[in-house]
């Protein structure tokens, strides 16, 4: 899935690559203050290392997604390695957060044919995104807000990062998030978790 239904002015904020002990709690603080529910695609290994943050994400009422066990490129994984990355990620997130993830997102959006039978068995549909303000190159916070504001449309799935893949990504997300939320609300968007959008 690349976007949700277009019939309502809803958009979903999604956060990849956490939980991160420095940035994720600050992202959660902003979301709580603003009353926004979002979706977090966690890396299983990081969820196992920061279980209390994974649990807080769930307890704050956000949705959980599986972003594999170790964030390897699934393009380079055999079918057996692919299954292990997905299942171990799923199980680690369920154990750490106290409930299983509802969605799956592949690292960098790169899937292979072995992915689909595994995520079907786990009942976690594969979710991509329609707007990504920072891909594999750093973009400053103001530019990210402008990028999303210019490209958002009803049903948009916005891909953000609450941890570093690109250096500094988590800190930039913390900085841009309040301005992004106000800008989307000014344009009439309600921010929803993925389950409400799809
Ligand atoms: Zn990622």
73-109 pLDDT, tens digit per residue, is 999 999 999 999 999 999 999 999 999 999 999 999 9
Output the six-digit token pair for 55: 């649990």
- Would you state the pLDDT for residue 1? 86
Band of residue 198 on the pLDDT scale cut at 50, 70, 90: confident
Please check the confidence at residue 180 and state whether its pLDDT lies above 90: yes
- Would you state the pLDDT for residue 135? 84
**Which of 183, 108, 191, 194 has its CA nearest to residue 141?**
183
Phi-psi region of 98 (alpha: psi -120 to 50; beta: other; left: phi over 0): left
Please check the confidence at residue 2 and state whether its pLDDT lies above 90: no
Active-site annotation holds for 16: yes
Alpha-carbon distance values, 20 to 78, 99, 112, 169 (Å):
28, 19, 27, 11
Q: What is the pTM of this model?
A: 0.97
CA of 90 to the centre of ligand 1 (A): 15
pLDDT above 90 coverage of the chain, percent: 93
How far is it, in rounded angstroms, from Cα 42 to Cα 150?
27
Active-site annotation holds for 161: yes
Residue 5: phi, psi to the nearest 5? Answer: -65, 150
Output the six-digit token pair for 93: 């997130």
- Would you state the pLDDT for residue 4? 86
- Would you state the pLDDT for residue 94? 98
Band of residue 112 on the pLDDT scale cut at 50, 70, 90: very high
pLDDT digits (tens, 9 = 90+) for 27-38: 999 999 999 999
pLDDT above 70 coverage of the chain, percent: 100
CA of 131 to the centre of ligand 1 (A): 15
How far is it, in rounded angstroms, from Cα 59 to Cα 22?
19
The one catalytic residue among 20, 67, 161, 162: 161
CA of 158 to the centre of ligand 1 (A): 13
- Which residues make Cβ contacts (< 8 Å) with residue 197, sequence separation at least 6? 4, 5, 10, 11, 12, 155, 157
Output the six-digit token pair for 2: 């690349």
Report the DSSP pairing between strands 10-16 and 39-42.
parallel
- Would you state the pLDDT for residue 7? 85
- What share of residues in the chain are helix, strand, coil (percent, to 5)? 45, 15, 40
The one catalytic residue among 16, 17, 20, 162: 16
């Amino acid at each position: 899935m690349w976007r949700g239904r277009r019939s309502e002015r809803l958009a979903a904020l999604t956060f990849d690559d956490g939980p991160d002990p420095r940035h994720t709690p600050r992202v959660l603080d902003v979301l709580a203050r603003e009353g926004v529910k979002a979706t977090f695609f966690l890396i299983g290994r990081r969820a196992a290392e920061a279980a209390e943050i994974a649990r807080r994400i769930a307890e704050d009422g956000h949705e959980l997604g599986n972003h594999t066990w170790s964030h390897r490129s699934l393009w380079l994984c055999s079918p057996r390695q692919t299954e292990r990355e997905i299942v171990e990620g799923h199980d680690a997130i369920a154990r750490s957060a106290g409930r299983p993830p509802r969605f799956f997102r592949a690292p960098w959006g790169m899937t292979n044919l072995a992915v689909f039978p595994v995520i079907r068995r786990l009942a976690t549909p594969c979710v991509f995104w329609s707007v990504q303000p920072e891909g594999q190159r750093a973009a400053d916070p103001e530019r990210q807000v402008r990028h999303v504001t210019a490209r958002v449309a009803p049903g948009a799935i916005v891909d953000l990062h609450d941890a570093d893949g690109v250096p500094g990504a988590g800190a930039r997300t913390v900085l841009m998030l309040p301005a992004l939320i106000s800008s989307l609300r000014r344009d009439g968007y309600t921010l929803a978790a993925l389950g409400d959008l799809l």
